[in-house]
Amino acid sequence: MLRNRIGIILVTALAPVVWGTTYLVTTELLPPGRPLLAGVVRALPAGLLLVLLTRRLPKGIWWLRALVLGALNIGAFFALLFVAAYRLPGGVAATVGAVQPLLVAGLAAGLLGERLTLRTVLSAVAGVAGVSLLVLRAGARLDGLGVAAALGGAVVMAAGVVLSKRWVSPAPLLATTGWQLVAGGLLLLPVALLVEGPPPAGLTARNLLGYGYLTIVGAAVAYALWFRGIRALTPTSVTFLGLLSPVVATLVGWLALGQDLTPAQGLGGAIVLGALVTAQLRRPRRQVTAGPDHVGAAHVGAGRAATGTGAAGERPSGGAGTVARSGTGGLAG
């Protein structure tokens, strides 16, 4: 069971690892100044591909739910991320976005009944501190609208993660992933056309390669792994894995672009990884060890249940069913 859970965590972690490479792909392969177009191309073709492969459309309430989840996880999130990226330095936007695990933990406690532990809160705070050391630069300027957009992006994504756990679709995973990508892409399309205008006429082979990577790997594959993780794990466990994205983006910038990597950034990365691992730990279940007196009492109780008599040879008032139900409840508690 433990090995299976670790495997699911590692596979789910591939999604934020892939998303950490999108900065390199965007800056090196895509036309400049078209982040919303990149969001549309990343989501809509991938969603249509998954819908065609699965040949499943939403039914009943899932038309609305797919629209809501697509807006939260894809459409609104990408749009707010675009505003934050244009009005804030990347380090500030990433640091504000790092509050998402804490937001998910709070929403999961309210909507799903998850227990909000001190360890989770401390891990979330450590994650924000680690990301700030990793990507925040001295003298970074703050913009009120940009900060609000970055925080709004974290909020809508947190709500999308929790609702994805609360609303479990009977359809296959790839189908529900496709529905959300299509819904998010369609919501983002008019915004992209209004803000950025029509797509550029002359796309190069490098541009097409970059868009193809974002569509197939960055959306179809990555989001399928992400939503699979949400189905199998708690939302809080999954959202902490998202902290891998700024770590991977920093490493890729250092390895591929020759960017500097300072000791403070190394410390920040170590703090992020420590917070991530700590958040995945589960509390051991308490096991009640029965002493000799308890064992003896259990044997006596079993004998009485088998004969249907009480201590004075009388049948219990609730019957044998009552004895069985109360005993099971005691073990479960």
Per-residue pLDDT tens for 169-203? Answer: 989 999 999 999 999 999 999 999 999 999 888 89
pLDDT at 285: 52
Tokens of 108: 């999961």
pLDDT tens-place string over residues 22-59: 888 988 999 988 889 999 999 999 999 999 999 999 99
**What's the confidence (pLDDT) of residue 139?**
66
Cα separation, 147 vs 285, in Å, equals 41
Tokens encoding 134: 């990793």
Per-residue model confidence (pLDDT) at position 325? 31
What local confidence, expressed as pLDDT, does residue 324 receive? 31
Across 154-179, average pLDDT: 95
**3-state class of 33 per DSSP?**
coil
How confident is the prediction for the chain on average, in pLDDT?
A: 84
Confidence (pLDDT) at 311 = 37
Q: What φ, ψ does residue 41 adopt, rounded to 5°?
A: -65, -30
Find out whether 87 and 149 touch, Cβ atoms under 8 Å. yes
Would the pLDDT of 286 be above 60?
A: no
pLDDT value for 283: 62
Q: Which residue has the higher pLDDT, 83 or 296?
A: 83
- Name residue, tokens 């994650």: 127
Q: What size, in residues, is the chain?
A: 333
pLDDT higher at 210 or 140: 210
Alpha carbon distance 329, 29 (integer Å): 61
Structure tokens at 142: 């703050």
Cα→Cα distances 158→163, 207, 232, 279, Å: 9, 31, 17, 16
Q: Tell me: pLDDT of 333 over 50.
A: no
* pLDDT tens by residue, 288-328: 444 444 444 444 344 444 344 443 333 333 333 333 333 33
Lowest mean pLDDT among 88-102, 123-137, 281-295: 281-295
Using an 8 Å Cβ cutoff, are 222 and 15 in contact? Answer: yes
- C-beta of residue 146 within 8 angstroms of C-beta of residue 84: yes
Count CB atoms within 10 A of the CB of residue 317: 7
Percent of the chain with pLDDT over 70: 83
Residues 269, 247 contacting (CB under 8 angstroms) = yes
Q: Closest by alpha carbon to 184, among 300, 68, 326, 74? A: 74
**Quick one: pLDDT at residue 330?**
35
Q: 253 versus 140: which is more confidently predicted?
A: 253
User: Who wins on pLDDT, 266 or 285?
Assistant: 266
d(CA 113, CA 110): 6
- Average pLDDT, stretch 73-86? 88
Residue 247 CA to residue 135 CA, distance in Å, equals 9
Determine the pLDDT at residue 331.
Answer: 29
Q: How far apart are CA 253 and CA 256, in angstroms?
A: 5
SS3 assignment, position 117: coil
What is the number of H-type helices and E-type strands within the chain? 17, 0
**What is the rounded CA–CA span in Å between residue 213 and residue 220?**
10
pTM of the model as a whole:
0.81
End-to-end CA gap in the chain: 22
Q: Cβ of 7: how many Cβ atoms within 10 Å? A: 11
Predicted local confidence at residue 297, as pLDDT: 43
Mean pLDDT of 146-158: 93
Query: Distance (Å, rounded) from C-alpha 227 to C-alpha 237?
Result: 13
pLDDT on residue 1? 67
